[in-house]
Chain A
Amino acid sequence: MNRLKTLWHRLGSPRWFFEISAPWAIGAIIVGLIGIVVGLAWGLAIAPPDYLQGNSFRIMYLHVPAAILSQSCFILMGLAGAVLLIWRMKLADMVVAAAAPIGMVFCVLALLTGAIWGRPTWGTWWVWDARTTSMLVLLFLYFGVIALRQAVPREETAGRAAAILAVVGMVDIPIIKYSVDWWLTLHQPSTFKLTAAPSMPPEMYLPLLISVLGFYTFFAGVLLFGVGNEILGRERRTQWVGELVRSRAS
């Protein structure tokens, strides 16, 4: 308990966090990229074609991780937003700031690959059904968080406004998750469930699993790196950042 408390207080020290997280960020990016390359190559070339969809199902190895990650990223932002609003921890604000653009890219990726996959599978690029619409709402929530941070001039007010939107916006996540069960939709239900075996043979879901884990690890690394950037920017007038700049320049 005591150690947990020390850790909590240390998280309030940007310098400590920067120095601890820097090697982890680089390591996670490298391991994540390897996972992504292995998962995608396996899915593209080695996994057998789907008996119904043929080879277009290979889009799944990109679409599913991007979609899962864009939602996980928003949950993280919502939780960090809550921490910021309750305990006013600056690090939480930096997490929201660093995570939002990454999650937005993955959300765009999920929507675009979904549309491209929809064309040969459903016969249409887009349907206004529960899953796709709630996913589009998630994209607008990302836009909102990013726009709020940039539009409000005072940094602290901007952070709090974005945090409130991130917390409230989390309502969309269960709607996306359960949309395929609650409403009639073209979208297929989840592939992975914690409570049941996957609905695919292992030679199909193993590469998907590797791809998903690779994307998560990559995301963690890029996020840590982005938080590091936020820390440097806010602490640029301090002595330790000045020393870091000098040691880099020489």
Chain B
Amino acid sequence: MSFSTWHEFLYMGGHYLYVWSSYGIGVVGIVITLVRPLLARRRFFAEQAQRLRREPNSAEVAPDASRSS
């Protein structure tokens, strides 16, 4: 352990502003990277479920047909 007290750890030898703002930005970046695709997936399933309810008899194409269109 490099620090003996909590205060010393938070104070970072006077560099607390630089160290903790960097790590704050880092956490924000990681959370954005993680949450964005998770929300996109949820939205996709919600939208598609709604579409299927709206048009229950909509014809679905065979697995690979979408690629030729």
A residues apposed to B, CB below 8 Å: 13, 15, 29, 33, 36, 40, 44-49, 54-56, 58-59, 62-63, 66, 90, 98, 101-102, 105-106, 108-109, 112-113, 116-117, 119-120, 218, 222, 225-226, 228-229, 232-242, 245-246, 248-249
Contact = CB atoms under 8 A, between A and B. Distances in A.
B13 A239 contact: no
B41 A228 contact: yes
Contacts of A225: 37-38, 41
A237 B33 CA distance: 27
Contacts of B33: 102, 105-106, 218, 222
The 8 A-B residue pairs with the shortest CB-CB distance, nearest first, are: A55-B12, A56-B15, A249-B49, A55-B13, A245-B48, A109-B29, A62-B26, A239-B60
Contacts of B22: 59, 62-63, 112-113, 116-117
Given A62-B23, A112-B25, A242-B52, A229 B40 contact: yes
Given A62-B22, A116-B21, A248-B49, A238 B62 contact: yes
Interface in B5-58: 9, 12-15, 18-19, 21-23, 25-26, 29-30, 32-34, 36-38, 40-41, 44-45, 48-49, 52
